[in-house]
Amino acid sequence: MKHFYVVCVESFTVTNKVKGVVAEVKEGEEFKATLYEETEEYFTTDSKKRRVYVGAVDAEGVINIEDCFRLLPVSENKFEYVYK
């Protein structure tokens, strides 16, 4: 799957010693997570267009999403991706 939609269920900030704040996500924000095929990882961008890690595909082909995100339904009672 090339992309799916998630909502942030817990606000968080990503920092590092060199750049300071490198991403900031607020609870309730919705995102389109896009697959980076080379590493089989999914990323989105925050409100300042900074890259945010959402999850990855494991060896069995299951997408594991970070705890701070939840999958959004595509339409009522239907999900774009069903967990195995």
Q: Is 15 contained in some domain? A: yes
| pLDDT of 76 higher than 60 | no
CATH code assigned at 14: 2.30.30
In total, how many domains does the chain have? 1
Domain-embedded: residue 39: yes
| pTM, entire model | 0.81
Give residue-wise pLDDT tens across range 23-71.
999 999 999 999 999 999 999 999 999 999 999 999 999 999 999 999 9
Which amino acid type is present at position 40? E
Asked if residue 53 belongs to a domain, the reply is yes
84, part of any domain: no
Residue 50 lies in a domain: yes
Q: Which domain holds residue 18?
A: 3-79
